[in-house]
Chain A
Amino acid sequence: MLRLKSIHTYYGNIHVLKGISLHVGPGELVALIGANGAGKTTTLKTISGLIRPTKGEIDFVGVPIRGMAPNKIVRKGLSHVPEGRQVFAKMTVWENLELGGYLEKNNAVVHEAIHRVESLFPVLKKRRHQLAGTLSGGEQQMLAIGRALMGWPKLLLLDEPSLGLAPIVAHTVFQSIARLRDEGMTILLVEQNARAALHISDRAYIMETGRMIMEGPSRELLDHKQIKRAYLGKGYREVWESP
């Protein structure tokens, strides 16, 4: 579905991505994990065309999309949910979702899509006529994801959906992402919450200062001691390790 080969991206003179390769297969939920500043968000922005890489290849559904305008990439079926729950606060939930369906001219189809999103995130149905700004953080995040789903993209890029959410709220967001994958959606998930991301994803990549340092099935990475120490909480110890 998506293939990146040796992508190099600069911000001015700063070499941010130093040869990133990754792939996402159809129906897969792939996590991209790393500390702050590792280049995760830059990777997503490079994929969706917001930043132009200097070197490397990006293929989406078999078509090279490197250098293509972001709106064209969206039309190819790639939806990017940026971090920070960017919903239109002064509009209702319904209107926000309608905006997500801007590519579709037929109203009936748009409404159909809204119903589909509402069945995935029932809370949005309950809040249908509320202003988005009055929603809780978790609900806003679901709205942001729901809006991106309106055109039922082939690939969904999610940037830090748990950012700034209370743990219990983050949990429900992760549950809905897992449910979305079960519905057949292909997802590339960027997360700082490595534990949760590894729990719900099929495979994962670990990034460090613009480079990939490990990749593999999430189950195996969860069991990897170096990853546990680095990303699953400071001073993480196994029960049998003395403090």
Chain B
Amino acid sequence: MSDRKRENERIDTQTLEQLQLEQLQSTINRAWKHVPFYKRRFQSHGVEPAGLRAIQDIAALPFTTRQDLGDDYPYGLFAVPLRDIVRISPAPGTTAKPVVVGFTRSDLRVRNQLTARFLSAAGVGDMDVVQICLNPGLSNWARALKEGAEVVGASVMPFTMMSTAKQLMVMEDFKTSVLLTTPSYGMHLLDTMEGLGKSARDLALKTVLVVGESLKDSDRNALEMALGVKVFVGYGPSDVLGPAVAFECPEKQGLHVNEDHFLLEIVDPRNTTPLPPGREGEIVLTTLTARAFPLIRFRTGDVARILEGPCACGRTFVRISTVSGHVGNILTIRGVKTHPTQIAQILAADPKTASSRFLIHLYKENHLDMVEIWLEMTPLLFSDEVKNIEQVLKRLRKHLFQRLGLEATIRLVESLTFDLEDIGPGGVVDHR
């Protein structure tokens, strides 16, 4: 990372505003010119790029939603020709279509620098052994974090499918000093250690970086106490953008948003009016330097608030609270974002379950998010041979995993259940 990139973190407000205005104007000019979706959207809102005279004028621009990303699938939102794209990164997304983001070489470089910023703020350097444990639904992030850790010069163990016991063995034998994971996996790791009779003394861990889910204070304390580590949080919407849109500094007083690459707004999710600092609302992000996949006023669905006042660390980037929840029906399951309609679509697509009603039950087991789908037994699904039914369930589980990255169990229930529940069919019961 060049010195200039580091300097940016302490940029003065006036210079930052100038930089953001320049970047915003050119992002909008590029989007208008190269992405028909944005031009159409701007025109239908009666806005024109030349009208944007200050950063605050962004409030006049239309929002972009996950639905829009799905509607213009596959290449609709790319702002550069395919020959300029060096990576195409798909994620299951929260609509019927996957979310696919393209990166140019410079986009990847920027993303890696930002990830490196997150890691360096947590004190990760070239003397560290970094182990990445994220579930497969977050494999885009696993890659981004791996590349960022390589930028800071650490020795990186990329994400590998292994049992928790083997992850622990590697962690112990290779003296892993930094663990990159989700809060729930971190807690799960603690349980596994307890079961194996291991303690922090057996490990060389000094830092745990968590991404993907909001971190409860109790979980942070538990991890810090039990492992004798410092915990740092990184934030980014998991399906688009990297894991390091915002990061925690050693002061642990909120997350600094990388304002030299993203413009942050907090809006009221009900009527999309901008909210002042301190008020909780939906995080809306605009990319300022993305070349291949510009996002303008992207509604992340994540809820947080802006923390006022300067940070003792000296970084001048604005701070947000850790994400406290989500807007609408988006579910975050082990860091992976899913919408209930995606599950509905998979069930509806199967001839045997097309007419079955269902409920989604979420709960924790060993600190890990678990999904249980309560599926209505209908004459269509019924068979006098259990193996026939079992086959259907197996097929559904496979589709849920392949398309959404969800490992779900399916419980068959009778129709009466749906009349007894408070919540309508297709609804979510969250016991977490």
Q: Which residues of A contact B (CB under 8 A)?
A: 3, 5-6, 8, 15, 18-19, 21-23, 55-56, 205-206, 208, 211-217, 220, 223-226, 241
Contacts and interface: CB of A to CB of B under 8 A. Distances in A.
Contacts of A55: 53
29 contacts: A3-B18, A5-B18, A6-B21, A6-B52, A8-B50, A19-B25, A19-B49, A19-B51, A21-B18, A23-B18, A23-B19, A23-B22, A205-B22, A206-B26, A208-B29, A212-B22, A212-B25, A212-B26, A213-B30, A214-B30, A215-B22, A215-B23, A215-B26, A224-B104, A225-B80, A225-B83, A225-B105, A226-B80, A226-B84
Nearest to B291: A224
A179 to B, nearest CB: 22
Given A19-B50, A220-B106, A226-B84, A5 B30 contact: no
B25 A21 contact: yes
A24 to B, nearest CB: 11
Interface string B11-48: 00001001101110110011001000000000000000
B33 A213 contact: yes
B106 A223 contact: yes
The 4 closest A-B pairs by CB, nearest first: A6-B53, A18-B50, A225-B84, A212-B26
B313 interface: no
Given A6-B21, A19-B53, A220 B109 contact: yes
Contacts of B52: 6, 19
Interface string B94-120: 000000000011100100000000000
A225 B79 CA distance: 13
Contacts of A226: 80, 84, 291
Contacts of A214: 26, 30, 291
Contacts of B429: none
Contacts of B29: 208, 211-213
Interface residues of B, number: 27
Interface of B: 4, 15, 18-19, 21-23, 25-26, 29-30, 33, 49-54, 80, 83-84, 104-106, 109, 289, 291
Contacts of B84: 225-226
Nearest to B30: A213
A213 B54 contact: no
Contacts of A220: 106, 109
A96 to B, nearest CB: 37
Contacts of A212: 22, 25-26, 29
A118 B132 CA distance: 60
B161 to A, nearest CB: 34
Nearest to A212: B26
Nearest to A220: B106
Contacts of A8: 50
A168 B69 CA distance: 50
B109 to A, nearest CB: 7
